[in-house]
A = this chain, B = another copy of it.
Amino acid sequence: MQLQVLLVAGTHGNEINGIFLFDQWEKSPLLINTHGIKTCKVIGNPEAQKAGKRYIHQDLNRSFREESILSINSSNFERSRANELVNLYGEEGENPCQIALDFHTTTASMGSCLVVYGRRDADLALASLIQNKLGLPIYLHESDQKQTGFLVESWPCGLVIEIGPIGQGLLNSRIISQTKLILETLMEQIQQVQNLTFYTPEKLIIHRHIKSIDFPRDEQGKIDGYVHFLRQSKDWQKLKKNDELFFKLNGEIIRFEEEESYVPVFINEAAYVEKDIAMSFTKKELWDFKKEWKQSLIDLVHQK
């Protein structure tokens, strides 16, 4: 069986730069250099795209849960869509793909980064290769009971690409260029794995998810403070005790009180307000690159 990579844009219907890039690519097949790797490209949530919204009934990128996938008929659009995508492009699907790459944008100043969900060997290997080429940060999302059911988890290997800051529903030349660069770098590295010509780094820099924090709220549970201007757009920058977190219009400053220091990410992501997340805290760690990661990715790419 030939390796095939699933490329998803518009998993959130109002993150449109990837969708635009795919549309243009459809018209000009030479626009993206896939380095000879076979790809399937798909719009994750076309209904939400038409509506100009993140989703119709629920966040598609939290809908890939086993119990959802099993329920074939559902009046919930995203549950049905998750099921459909796995049936079409899953490892055992009609048009099987072994690796899924899910292209997102964020209103936070995350720059270009990758997100991996849990510690799967092949994910960590592929992320390491990209970090080694482009130097971008990797956010390891794990141990978060409130946030599960991500698309890429339904494939044997998968990464989320997050690029920001960009407002929802906005096309931006910089964001499109960044998306194109990461996409082509991913294809190049997968080709090198296929040809066994790839170079693995000795270390992987990981920003490991610790927890998310909510906005300040009043007695009724309404948000009554916003991200302090000294924290706004300071994703990936270390937060220490007494640093400013939030600001209230009565002049009150809410500071970070813990002794631990963290690196905040997804600061003021518009779509996370409904998830009660003002930002997430990570720990920056230097990990040794493990042989078994490499082997896992080779096995996946070379499977017959």
Which chain A residues have a beta carbon within 8 Å of chain B's beta carbons? 20-21, 23-25, 27-28, 31, 52-53, 107, 165-174, 176, 180, 218, 222-224, 226-229, 232, 247-250, 268, 270-271, 273-274
Q: Is the beta-carbon distance between A169 and B270 smaller than 8 angstroms?
A: yes
9 extra interface residue pairs, beta carbon distance < 8 Å, beyond A20-B226, A171-B226, A172-B226: A24-B224, A25-B249, A165-B167, A169-B270, A169-B271, A171-B268, A173-B228, A176-B226, A180-B249
Q: Is the beta-carbon distance between A224 and B167 smaller than 8 angstroms?
A: no
Q: Is the beta-carbon distance between B167 and A227 smaller than 8 angstroms?
A: no
Chain B neighbourhood of A107, CB < 8 A: 167, 169-170
Nearest chain B CB to A14 CB, angstrom units = 8
Q: Is the beta-carbon distance between A222 and B169 smaller than 8 angstroms?
A: no
Q: How far is the CA of A170 from the CA of B166 in the complex (A)?
A: 11
Q: Is the beta-carbon distance between A250 and B170 smaller than 8 angstroms?
A: no
Chain B neighbourhood of A169, CB < 8 A: 107, 168, 270-271, 273
Q: Is the beta-carbon distance between A23 and B222 smaller than 8 angstroms?
A: yes
Q: Is the beta-carbon distance between B168 and A250 smaller than 8 angstroms?
A: no
Q: How far is the CA of A173 from the CA of B248 in the complex (A)?
A: 9
Chain B neighbourhood of A168, CB < 8 A: 167-169, 270
Most chain B CB within a 10 A radius of its CB, from A171, A224, A247? A171
Q: How far is the CA of A228 from the CA of B177 in the complex (A)?
A: 12
Q: How far is the CA of A53 from the CA of B21 in the complex (A)?
A: 25
Q: Which residue of B28, B171, B248 contacts A227 across the interface (Cβ within 8 Å)?
A: B171
Chain B neighbourhood of A249, CB < 8 A: 21, 24-25, 28, 31, 176, 180
Q: How far is the CA of A25 from the CA of B170 in the complex (A)?
A: 31
Q: Is the beta-carbon distance between A232 and B167 smaller than 8 angstroms?
A: no
